[in-house]
Amino acid sequence: MSNVKEQWGSRIGVIMAVAGSAVGLGNFLRFPGKAAENGGGAFMIPYFVALLLVGIPLCWAEWAMGRYGGRHGFNSAPGIFSVLWKHPLSKYLGALALLIPMTVYFYYIVVEAWCLGYAWNYLTGNLMMGKNPGAYTDFFTTFTGSAADASLFSGTIQQSLIFIAITFVVNFLVVYRGLSGGIEKFCNIAIPMMAICAMCVLIRVLTLPANPENPEQNVINGLGFMWNPDLSVLRKPETWLAAAGQIFFTLSVGFGVIINYASYVKPKKDIALSGLTATSVNEFFEVCLGGTITIPAAFIFLGATTLATFTSSSFSLGFKALPNVFAEMPGGQVFGFLWFFMLFLAAITSSLSMLQPVMAFFEEGLGLKRKGSTLLMFLITLLGSGFVMYYSKDLAGLDSIDFWSGELFIVVLALVQAIIYGWVFGTKLGQEELDSGAELRIPRFVQFVIKFVSPAFLIWILYSMLTSKNDAGTLKMVEKLKDPIQLAGFCIVMGSLLFLWVMVYFAGQRWKKEGRA
């Protein structure tokens, strides 16, 4: 069995950490854009259906598998999978749950640094450039280096590199302090702080006066832009796909994080209520705050026509459109700072959760101490993030890794987990695991949903992704591999998978010797 194991310090701590992992930039930027684009209020019908049929059941499945694995001495997905499915291949499937957080971290840390950089530039007043949309686009292009490759490394030290260095150091300092002493303590402070910042911005947005140049551009019509339903979209499969995709993205399902975090829950402690609470906290940030801040604020100052051009891209909405809003809003400098600082907190609680699963594997699979696993992870992510920072033209490096890891493999891993839970581990054992110490009775039909409905839903999503001919579809991304940077991004993801498989092989040998697998 394992050595002295880390555990969560408190029940609230694990809920905050899982909620922190789930609440990210997507809650405030991706969700409102997706909803506005896909039928407004009508989008919430497939959204809630996907939440109930796939999101919450799969979260519970991950919590159950994680705690079961933890009880059997494993915290990393390869180890947990080898306990759930006693087959030599199972631990290699578990490597997917290391690949996704590790490679997503490569670019997520860069975006996180943008948020910190923007917050700083609001604090110092540099981003208060008046009504000048071009200026904010130029600022974004310079700050992110998206005009040309290697532009962040040419000439003097670029400001964004300093913020990337700061975010790297803060992430690794927190994670080095361990699960309970680092991540849990940080999330316990960051989540309430994030809620306070969001509430301040929400109150400001809801009390904004109408645009004096065009009184039709007021907060009520802004809410209407976001929520007025177009029920005809419900007949389109793309709407359902977008809603299901959003649920995956927002809940961190199939990300490899929940299964790792749940493995540190003490045996016989509740996971049913904790899992649902973490999910509901994430939904609060997404629907109640994300759904009422971003779009109405942008609508008042930009109007429907201009706003519609920004909703398809989270980065455009967040980093190009909203600075225009803060420039005209009374107290815009303060609210701009609060907004981007809140986004930074949302991002860092997510990025911390991406480090822990892989470091847990390095520790239990390769026998490294915390210092060694931190150093190894630091070097790997520095290389990966270096690629994203260097190939910054049109954010191509970021886009490539985001698609293969952050979109496609997430669905693959969620499907693998649903099949292992429903068909290998078994719903009977799963229900027993969820019921053990439960403070919430989970209805039996949830097991049926996980066994039959969720995999079917996931297969449909995967099929749609693989056959989609739109710009974000797999066919288009395969075509894009002709571009050397897109190909390099793909190779980095596949190379990381190969590296992890080799590590998993050595870990398997080690566990065999120890009589653990």
Partner 1 sequence: MTTAGWIFMIVSVLSVLSLVVYCVSKVLFYAPKD
Which DSSP state fits 385?
Answer: H
CB 451 → partner 1: shortest distance, Å?
24
Comparing CA positions, the residue from 384, 407, 379 lying closest to residue 491 is 384
Enumerate residues 6+ apart whose C-beta is below 8 A from 152.
145, 158, 160, 161, 389, 390, 392
208 binds partner 1 (CB under 8 A): no
292 binds partner 1 (CB under 8 A): yes
CB 275 → partner 1: shortest distance, Å?
10
Count other Cβ atoms within 10 Å, centred on residue 340. Answer: 27
- State the Cα–Cα distance between residues 112 and 115, nearest whole angstrom: 5
191 binds partner 1 (CB under 8 A): no
Closer Cβ to partner 1, 23 or 503, answer by number: 23
Going 108 to 190 to 162 to 151, the CA torsion angle's sign is: positive
194 binds partner 1 (CB under 8 A): no
**Tokens describing residue 31:** 């969700």
20, 33, 40, 46: which one binds partner 1 (CB under 8 A): 40
227, 315, 344, 490: which one binds partner 1 (CB under 8 A): 227
Give the interface segment with partner 1, choosing from 132-140, 232-240, 255-263, 271-279 (CB under 8 A). Answer: 271-279
Integer angstrom CA distances of residue 430 from 87, 187, 272, 447, 516: 19, 28, 11, 8, 22
- State the Cα–Cα distance between residues 93 and 513, nearest whole angstrom: 21
Binding mask 437-476 for partner 1 (x = CB under 8 A): --xx------------------------------------
Collapsed DSSP state (helix, strand, coil) of residue 261: helix
Comparing CA positions, the residue from 311, 306, 245 lying closest to residue 40 is 311
CB 7 → partner 1: shortest distance, Å?
11
44, 97, 197, 414: which one binds partner 1 (CB under 8 A): 44
Closer Cβ to partner 1, 96 or 449, answer by number: 449
Quote the crossing angle between the two packed helices 77-84 and 96-123, to the nearest 10°.
150
75, 260, 277, 385: which one binds partner 1 (CB under 8 A): 277
Which DSSP state fits 55?
Answer: I
399 binds partner 1 (CB under 8 A): no
CB 440 → partner 1: shortest distance, Å?
7
CB 176 → partner 1: shortest distance, Å?
25
Give the interface segment with partner 1, choosing from 66-74, 167-175, 286-294, 410-418 (CB under 8 A). Answer: 286-294
- State the Cα–Cα distance between residues 286 and 294, nearest whole angstrom: 11
128, 210, 273, 368: which one binds partner 1 (CB under 8 A): 273
17, 36, 99, 223: which one binds partner 1 (CB under 8 A): 223
CB 227 → partner 1: shortest distance, Å?
4
φ, ψ of residue 178 in degrees (nearest 5) = 100, 180
Closer Cβ to partner 1, 11 or 72, answer by number: 11
Which DSSP state fits 54?
Answer: I
CB 442 within 8 A of CB 431: yes
- State the Cα–Cα distance between residues 152 and 397, nearest whole angstrom: 14
10 binds partner 1 (CB under 8 A): yes
11, 71, 177, 393: which one binds partner 1 (CB under 8 A): 11
178 binds partner 1 (CB under 8 A): no
202, 210, 276, 304: which one binds partner 1 (CB under 8 A): 276
423 binds partner 1 (CB under 8 A): no
CA dihedral 15, 344, 255, 70 (to 10 degrees): -40
Size of the site for partner 1 (CB under 8 A): 33
193 binds partner 1 (CB under 8 A): no
Alpha helices in 124-218 (DSSP H): 133-144, 159-176, 185-206
Point out which residues bind partner 1 (CB under 8 A). Answer: 10-12, 15, 40-42, 44, 48, 220-221, 223-224, 226-229, 269-270, 273-274, 276-277, 280-281, 283-284, 287-288, 291-292, 439-440
